[in-house]
Every structure is written in structure tokens, then in C-alpha cells.
Amino acid sequence: MRRLLRSLARLVRPGGRPAWKPFLLAFWPFILGSALVVGGLAAIVIGYLGAAGTLVVGLQMPYLISGGVLGLALVVFGAALLLLHGLNRQARLLKRVLEEGRAASNGETGPVPNGLVLVPAGATAFHRPGCRLVEGKTARRLKPETAARKGLRPCPLCDPAAAS
């Protein structure tokens, strides 16, 4: 019982706000679209199985119309929601990257901390700490001059060469 209460307590943040609410608010088109696609495919299969079990063509039509047409409509609407969700996420990411690029071109980036830049494994460019392109990757720290000598170019987004 204690385990169950502890696991339920983890679903609520310290302020009393449930942790799953932000997830549902951000991903409702994806969840609804996926459910509609699965439901539409199930309706198509049920309609096919109903029509396949009947020899008279006149009795097959209700199965084909209800299962086929309704299932196809659900699949198309669900796929549209999935597409909408993907495009919305890409637009937000592009907006964030463009804002960071504008901030870097306006000189709002400031000096490179400790005079060191980040070079991810197998990269062809070096980056400032905090650059979105290196976020979550393991990278070694080098001086900008050393990175340039190794043939690496500065990142076009964060532009560590101009900031150093």
C-alpha cells in the first residue's frame, strides 16, 4: 500500500499540480490522432470481416459503408492531427533557433566563458557552452585557437569566434 501511495505522490508536483497535465496539454493532438488512426484501422478491419462473412452483396454494403468509410474518415482525421502536431513542434523549434540566431548576430551572446569552446565527438564545428546544437551531447573543451588549428569552423548559430 505504501508503494502505491509513493508512486501516486510522484505523479503530483510539490505545488499540488499534477505532472501529467502539462504533458496532456502539449501532446493532445498526438494522443487523439493516434487513437483515431488505431480506431479507424479497427473499423476497417471489422467492416472487412463482416462483409467477408456474408455472401449476399446487398448485405455486405452496410459493413463496407460503416466500416470502410467511417474507418477511412477516422484514419484521415487522425493523420491530419498527427501532421498538425508535428508541424507545430517544428515551427516552435525553428522559432527558438531563429531567436537565438538573432540574439547571436546582435552581439547579445557575451564572451565565451573561461575562453573555452565545446567540440562534440565527430563534429566539424566548435560551439559556445549552451548552444542548442550541442545540448545533450558529450563534448570536450578546447581553446578557440586550438579548435581552429584542427580545421574546425565556428558554429553559425552561436558564433563562438565573434564572442571570444
**What is 72-102 written as a DSSP string?**
HHHHHHHHHHHHHHHHHHHHHHHHHHHHHHH
Lowest mean pLDDT among 8-17, 23-32, 69-78, 154-163: 8-17
Largest interatomic CA distance in the chain:
81
**Secondary structure (3-state) at 15:** coil
* pLDDT top residue among 100 and 144: 144
* Phi, psi for 2 (deg, rounded to 5): -65, -40
CA 103 to centroid of chain Cα atoms: 24
Whether the per-residue pLDDT at 69 is higher than 70: the answer is yes
Please tell me the predicted confidence (pLDDT) of residue 64: 86
* Phi, psi for 18 (deg, rounded to 5): -60, 140
Confidence of residue 99 (pLDDT cuts 50, 70, 90): confident
Whether the per-residue pLDDT at 110 is higher than 50: the answer is no
What amino acid is encoded at 99 in this protein?
E
Please tell me the predicted confidence (pLDDT) of residue 75: 97
Provide the whole-model pTM.
0.55
Q: What is the pLDDT of residues 113-157, one digit of tens each?
A: 567 888 888 888 888 887 877 877 888 888 888 888 888 888 887
| Alpha-carbon span 63 to 46, nearest angstrom | 8
